[in-house]
């Protein structure tokens, strides 16, 4: 935070000291004066209100949407980089990864994003739940059902705008009968949860991440507003189209609502997270490469761009969320990022 320090120079202090009988050292302490950071629109509320109205109109219109996943597990962030309300204004949907109820500060951030027309939803990862060690004697389907019910109760209590559910069933063609039965039980849990949530909250944003083409309950898949093609481990831009075509291999999969998900680059990253190869073979940031690819014509619908762990993109000397903003501007020039 910027601050102003008032300096009392020794020369002036000596003059005053001769009158008041005090020494120079008594007058040379630096005093910090609290100064608020300038807030966009604070000096002109009417102008800011018009900006917000323009922003909401933009988001309600037809455009390629931007979805970001934010790790909000740190409930007392030491910097603004830990505040999800600071994401680029033109982001359409923020998915919060941490389980549990939101804090008072987080609820205030949700309200701030709602004012900008940004939806805030809860994220749920079935794979993480199933990989965790469960209670002895409790089968996987029951563990998943209980965890999913808890997460849904949390998002309802916090009045969020929906759910993105990561579920990656595998192709059952080469599975054993036992494996097929186990997956059908998990499919039933996921399908039932999505159907009940849609019936209870028709206004919710529902997102299916993963491999919906292998889910036995395709009716539940069709109820989702968006289908996310996870490309976190994509090696090149060619994987974007290849993975979409795999998903299109099942005729019942709606092909007009695909969103591709890549990762932001972690600070001081030592691996290739957030990078992939472009058409020339050069290593490039996945966010920008995906934005460029989304502008190309295709036989399937390109609903938007997804960024996993967008908080990594906050820290930049020239502009916060620089690469996120550049991608949004490439897809849809916006009122302000």
User: Containing H/E element for 226?
Assistant: strand 226-230
Residues 218-237, mean pLDDT to the nearest whole number: 97
Q: Indicate left, alpha or beta for 30 from its phi (over 0: left) and psi (-120 to 50: alpha).
A: beta
pTM for the full predicted model: 0.86
HSE-up (13 A, CA, CB side) for residue 303? 20
Q: What is the mean pLDDT of the chain?
A: 88
pLDDT digits (tens, 9 = 90+) for 49-93: 999 999 999 999 999 999 999 999 999 999 999 999 999 999 999
If pLDDT is split at 50, 70 and 90, which confidence band does 246 have?
very high
**φ and ψ of 219, to 5 deg:** -65, -40
- Does 10 have pLDDT greater than 80? no
Across-strand partners of 259? 228, 304
Q: Give the span between the Cα atoms of 299 and 297, in whole angstroms.
A: 7
pLDDT, residue 38, reads 53
Question: What would the CATH number be for the domain defined by 39-331?
Answer: 3.20.20.80
Widest pairwise Cα distance in the chain: 97
pLDDT, residue 41, reads 64
pLDDT, residue 42, reads 64
Cβ atoms of 155 and 197 within 8 Å: the answer is no
pLDDT, residue 249, reads 86
Extents of the domains making up the chain: 1-37, 39-331
Residues 318-332, mean pLDDT to the nearest whole number: 95
User: At which residue do the structure tokens 């999913």 appear?
Assistant: 148
């Amino acid at each position: 935070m910027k601050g102003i320090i008032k300096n009392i120079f020794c020369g002036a202090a000596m003059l005053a000291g001769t009158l008041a009988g005090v020494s120079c050292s008594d007058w040379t302490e630096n005093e910090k004066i609290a100064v608020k950071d300038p807030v966009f629109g604070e000096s002109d509320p009417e102008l800011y209100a018009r900006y917000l109205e323009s922003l909401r109109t933009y988001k309600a219109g037809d455009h390629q949407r931007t979805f970001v996943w934010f790790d909000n597990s740190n409930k007392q962030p030491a910097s603004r980089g830990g505040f999800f309300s600071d994401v680029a204004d033109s982001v359409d949907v923020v998915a919060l990864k941490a389980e549990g109820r939101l804090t008072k500060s987080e609820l205030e951030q949700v309200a701030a994003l709602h004012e900008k027309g940004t939806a805030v939803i809860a994220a749920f990862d079935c794979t993480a739940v199933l990989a965790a060690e469960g209670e002895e004697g409790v089968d996987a389907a029951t563990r998943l059902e209980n965890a999913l019910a808890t997460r849904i109760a949390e998002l309802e209590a916090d009045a969020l705008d929906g759910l993105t559910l990561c579920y990656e069933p595998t192709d059952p063609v080469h599975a054993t009968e036992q494996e097929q039965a186990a997956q059908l039980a998990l499919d039933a849990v996921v399908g039932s949860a999505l159907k009940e949530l849609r019936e209870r909250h028709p206004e919710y944003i529902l997102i299916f991440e993963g491999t919906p083409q292998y889910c036995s309950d395709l009716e539940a898949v069709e109820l989702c507003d968006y289908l996310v093609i996870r490309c976190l481990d994509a090696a090149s831009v060619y994987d974007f189209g290849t993975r979409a075509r795999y998903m299109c291999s099942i005729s019942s999969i709606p092909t007009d609502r695909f969103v591709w998900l890549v990762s932001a680059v972690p600070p001081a990253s030592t691996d290739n997270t957030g990078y992939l190869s472009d058409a020339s073979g050069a290593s490039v940031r996945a966010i920008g490469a995906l934005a460029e690819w989304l502008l190309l014509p295709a036989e399937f619908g390109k609903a938007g761009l997804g960024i996993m762990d967008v908080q990594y993109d906050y820290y930049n000397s020239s502009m916060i969320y620089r690469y996120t903003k550049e991608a949004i501007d490439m897809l849809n020039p916006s009122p302000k990022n």
